[in-house]
Amino acid sequence: MSKFKYILLLTTSICLFNSCVNHKDTSIALPNQNYVENQPHSYGAYIAGRVAHLRSDFNNAADYYIQALKKDPNNIELLNSVYLILTSQGRIDEAATYAKQAIKLGEKNNFAYIIIAADQIKKQKYKDAQKTMKNTQGVIYNDFISPLVLAWIYTGEGKKDKAIEALEVIKKEKSLRALYYFQTGMIYDYFGDNKNAAKNYEVIVKEEKLEMSFRALQIICNFYIRNNQKTKAVNLVRKYADDRTLADMMKRLQNSVAFATPKNAKKLLTNPAEGVAEAFFSIAATLRQGEAGVDLAHMFISLAIYENQDYDLARLLLADILESREMFAEANAQYDAIDKNKESYYTAQLRKANNLVQMNDYDGAELLMKSLTLESNNPQLYLDLGDVLRLNGNQNEAIEYYTKAIDATQNTNPNKWVLYYARGISYEQNNQWNLAEKDFQKALTLSQKHYAVLNYLGYSWITRGENTELAFSMLVDAYNQAPQDGNVADSLGWAFYRLGKYDYAVFYLEKATETEAANPIICDHLGDAYWMAGRKNEARFQWQHALALKDEENKLNPDEVRAKIQTGEVFNKPLTYNAQTIQETIDLISTED
């Protein structure tokens, strides 16, 4: 069975926030009339919980549901909701209590047993946990989840051979071989069986087809250092040092390995709870790869953190899931829980700053990013800080950090054009057009005419009435590259407007509003085009709509729009151009239009 089939089985077995368990329809719906009449007191608490639930305020949702349960303790659907939401919030000991209650009432879902077993492992009740896990059923549990959990339960009981034997079933699935060798190696390592630990770890190290996760890299390097094989650790981490997706974490791991000694290197796994946390992390990471598995990944990673509060990579994954739900404050709480000595600390703080931007806290993001620049000469950080400063209206300082990013980035970096492009935008917004134009042209060359650069430079020229034929051809090129991009369609439509070709302008500006309906500038442009095309009622509607929308970039002039609505005076002096050249360019527009 492939890994993806495993994911499919998992994601169809439980839906976290609708409490779908064992393929039964147990979604949280409003109670029926009979429920309302019989449970008048609990219904109010239930409604409050439901509202909190829909607002993603899961802690309060759980508390309200618990109040409702006091009046209606045998409500299976409510019990399921409570223990699942509590699990997602890391309140595992409470969740286990309600999971047990649900099972006593006849529920026999696998995840309820997982929650109970996780709590028992944390409390070192290994025999109880073993009995609990025997209740799990089905292929996915028998062949994947239960073996991982049972292996660490046996480890807690001191039964090394049984622990290793429990993992054998996982080895049969090719896509799980790396997981098998990693888990097996950790168990041998835990028991001090260095020979067998090394044997399993080195399968991952030597077989290129097996994925080396960052966590595996940490664990294996730590093992080598503790066993006086530092050279192996140095070479191993160097092998993955240029992984751009984990650049900062890899750099810090490299430094940690460089300065480590057998004397100061301590085992990363010191008890079975930390081991089962690794198992839960692996399950969550697998599930996170598919959109349908986000709810389950949320629960399993919460279990991992419960077992090991110091597990920084688990907190990173949980924060990533919370960000996908647009729960940025909650994600930042996870980042703040990561110790400064962890390899992931800097990455976590950088992501926290990005979340502050999402929350429109530009001042907080700026302050945090500036503090991070004291620790690192990181081009990405300079770029992000430049973006924050630009969005906050501080163009001079934004230009300063964009320049630092350019200076800190090698010329061979294929994405260096982004830095010139970003600085060009700040120059343009700072009324330094000559410098902006140079940066846009540099970005155009480096990016091999990326549509974003074509669009910005072409639109700027058209708006300024410069290089008309060239600007128009650039906008057509940009549109042909990205016809579904609303901003690009807007630029092309505006170019047609400036040329006096209003029917064309209306067509492309209408297309732009289909994908960018909340953009006030595009609505204003469409209003102008409608007016010049003789569609005056529609024009006034678009102008009024533009005024009603939030102008996040402060580019709309409300007074000018109100004047157009009141007086109907719209002035556009069409640009002069070579008609043949423009027509030849129009003929190049995607035939789809």
Q: For the segment 206-218, what is each residue's pLDDT rounded down to a tens digit?
A: 998 888 999 999 9
pLDDT for 244 equals: 59
Distances (CA, A) of 585 to 268, 509, 544, 575: 63, 18, 34, 16
Q: Is 14 helix (H, G, I), strand (E, B) or coil?
A: strand
C-alpha 523/C-alpha 284 separation (Å) is 43
pLDDT for 30 equals: 34
Confidence of residue 44 (pLDDT cuts 50, 70, 90): confident
| Tens of pLDDT, residues 146-192 | 999 999 999 999 999 999 999 999 998 888 999 999 999 999 999 99
SS3 letters across 526-583 = HHHHHHHCCCHHHHHHHHHHHHHCCCCCCCCCHHHHHHHHHHCCCCCCCCCCCHHHHH
Tell me what the mean pLDDT of segment 307-325 comes to: 96
Torsion of CA 390, 395, 399, 400, to 10 degrees: -100
C-alpha 6/C-alpha 263 separation (Å) is 42
C-alpha 224/C-alpha 238 separation (Å) is 14
C-alpha 571/C-alpha 527 separation (Å) is 12
Tell me what the mean pLDDT of segment 568-585 comes to: 94
| Tens of pLDDT, residues 513-560 | 999 999 999 999 999 999 999 999 999 999 999 999 998 878 899 999
Question: Closest by alpha carbon to 13, among 132, 95, 112?
Answer: 112
Confidence of residue 577 (pLDDT cuts 50, 70, 90): very high
| Tens of pLDDT, residues 416-433 | 999 999 999 999 999 999
pTM: 0.82
For the chain, what is the mean pLDDT? 90
Task: Inform me whether the pLDDT recorded for 473 exceeds 50.
Answer: yes
Domains in the chain, CATH or no CATH each: 360-439 (1.25.40.10), 451-586 (1.25.40.10)
Contacts of 361 (CB under 8 A, 6+ apart): none
Instruction: Look up tokens 């001079």; give the residue.
Output: 396
Task: Inform me whether the pLDDT recorded for 408 exceeds 80.
Answer: yes
Structure tokens at 577: 């151009």
C-alpha 341/C-alpha 489 separation (Å) is 48
The angle formed by the CA atoms of residues 525, 528 and 534, to the nearest 5 degrees, is 140
pLDDT for 333 equals: 97
In sequence order, what DSSP letters do the residues of 456-477 get, joined into one string?
A: HHHHHHHHHT-SHHHHHHHHHH
Confidence of residue 81 (pLDDT cuts 50, 70, 90): very high
Structure tokens at 12: 């169809």
Q: Percent of the chain scored above 70 by pLDDT?
A: 91
CB 221 within 8 A of CB 236: yes
Task: Inform me whether the pLDDT recorded for 248 exceeds 90.
Answer: no
Task: Inform me whether the pLDDT recorded for 31 exceeds 70.
Answer: no
CB 309 within 8 A of CB 322: no
Q: Is 15 helix (H, G, I), strand (E, B) or coil?
A: strand
- In the chain, the amino acid numbered 380 is Q
C-alpha 429/C-alpha 389 separation (Å) is 12
Question: Closest by alpha carbon to 476, among 337, 585, 564?
Answer: 585
Contacts of 394 (CB under 8 A, 6+ apart): none
